[in-house]
Amino acid sequence: MSVIGIAGAGAFGTAMGVVLAEAGRDVAIWAHEEPFAEEIRQRNENPRLPGVQLPPNVAITSDIDAIGGSELVLLATPMQVLASVLETYGPRLRARAMVACCKGVDLATGRGPVAIIAENCPETVPAVLTGPSFAADIARGLPTALTLACADPAMGVSLQERLSTPTLRLYRTTDTVGAELGGALKNVMAIAAGIVIGTGLGESARAALITRGFAEMQRFARAYGADPETLAGLSGFGDLVLTCTSAQSRNFSFGVALGKGQYFDPEVTVEGAATARAVAAIATARGIDMPVTHSVAHVIDGRRSISEAVKILLSRPLKEE
Ligand X SMILES: NC(=O)c1ccc[n+]([C@@H]2O[C@H](COP(=O)([O-])OP(=O)(O)OC[C@H]3O[C@@H](n4cnc5c(N)ncnc54)[C@H](O)[C@@H]3O)[C@@H](O)[C@H]2O)c1
The residue range among 130-138, 155-163, 199-207, 306-314 that interacts with ligand X, by the rule CB under 6 A, is 130-138
Answer for which of 175, 180, 216, 271 binds ligand X (CB under 6 A) is: 271
Least separation in angstroms between CB 242 and ligand G3P: 5
Q: Say if residues 146 and 170 touch (Cβ distance below 8 Å).
A: yes
Annotated active-site residue 319? The verdict is: no
The residue range among 3-11, 214-222, 285-293, 300-308 that interacts with ligand X, by the rule CB under 6 A, is 3-11
Q: Say if residues 149 and 128 touch (Cβ distance below 8 Å).
A: yes
- Which of ligand G3P, ligand X, none is residue 132 near (CB under 5 to 8 Å by kind)? ligand G3P
Residues 15-54 that bind ligand X (CB under 6 A): 31-32, 48
Q: Is 34 annotated as a binding residue?
A: no
The residue range among 164-172, 239-247, 292-300, 311-319 that interacts with ligand G3P, by the rule CB under 6 A, is 239-247
Residue whose C-alpha is closest to residue 194's, from 246, 255, 251, 276: 255
Number of Cβ atoms within 10 Å of the Cβ of 174? 15
Answer for which of 134, 214, 220, 237 binds ligand G3P (CB under 6 A) is: 134
Residues 92-131 that bind ligand G3P (CB under 6 A): 103
- Which of ligand G3P, ligand X, none is residue 243 near (CB under 5 to 8 Å by kind)? ligand G3P
Beta bridge partners of 130: 147
> What sign has the CA pseudo-torsion 73, 78, 83, 85?
negative
Least separation in angstroms between CB 248 and ligand G3P: 6
Answer for which of 4, 239, 273, 310 binds ligand G3P (CB under 6 A) is: 239
Q: Is 9 annotated as a binding residue?
A: yes
- Which of ligand X, ligand G3P, none is residue 300 near (CB under 5 to 8 Å by kind)? none
Residues 149, 160: Cα–Cα separation, whole Å: 9
Write 86-93 long-range contacts (CB < 8 A, 24+): 86/116, 86/117, 86/120, 86/121, 87/120, 89/7, 89/64, 90/120, 90/121, 92/64, 92/65, 92/68, 93/5, 93/7, 93/64, 93/67, 93/68, 93/121, 93/124
Answer for which of 251, 275, 293, 295 binds ligand G3P (CB under 6 A) is: 251
DSSP string, 167-226: SEEEEEES-HHHHHHHHHHHHHHHHHHHHHHHTT--HHHHHHHHHHHHHHHHHHHHHTT-
Q: Is 253 in the site for ligand X (CB under 6 A)?
A: no
Q: How many residues bind ligand G3P (CB under 6 A)?
A: 13
Q: Is 149 in the site for ligand G3P (CB under 6 A)?
A: no
Residues 44, 174: Cα–Cα separation, whole Å: 37
Q: List alpha helices for the chain, DSSP H.
A: 11-22, 34-43, 65-68, 79-89, 113-120, 135-139, 153-163, 176-198, 203-223, 228-231, 239-245, 250-260, 271-286, 291-300, 306-314
Q: Write the binding mask 73 to 92 for ligand X: x where contact by CB under 6 A, - elsewhere.
A: ---xxxx-x---x-------
Least separation in angstroms between CB 63 and ligand G3P: 28
Q: Is 102 in the site for ligand X (CB under 6 A)?
A: yes
- Name the site residues for ligand G3P (rule: CB under 6 A): 103, 132-134, 187, 190, 239, 242-243, 249-251, 271
- Name the site residues for ligand X (rule: CB under 6 A): 8-13, 31-32, 48, 76-79, 81, 85, 101-104, 133-135, 269, 271
Residues known to be catalytic: 186
